[in-house]
Amino acid sequence: MITSFMAANELHAVHVIAQKGMTQIRAVSFCKVEGDAGAGVYQVADWAFDGRPKYGEIPVCTKCSSAVTALKTPK
């Protein structure tokens, strides 16, 4: 499972979740997009970021997909 969130009508893989102020929680993706983690952070199947253009009907960020694939690929 991979932690993800929606921003700019795409599914992004979470790189960092950070508190911003006293009440706001922000998620930052591998491609540096930020989103409101309070609006929803989801666990999705690993294959969601294996290079496929969509997770069901939801478009997947190609930069996040590339980063996740690179992290999984042994050198």
User: What pLDDT digit, counting tens, does each position of 12-32 carry?
Assistant: 999 999 887 888 889 999 999
Q: Tell the residue number behind the tokens 């795409």, with chain if given.
A: 10
Angstrom distance (rounded) from CA 16 to CA 32 = 10
* 4, pLDDT greater than 90: yes
Q: Give this prediction's pTM.
A: 0.88
Alpha-carbon distances of 75 from 8, 31, 66, 71, rounded to whole Å: 32, 22, 15, 10
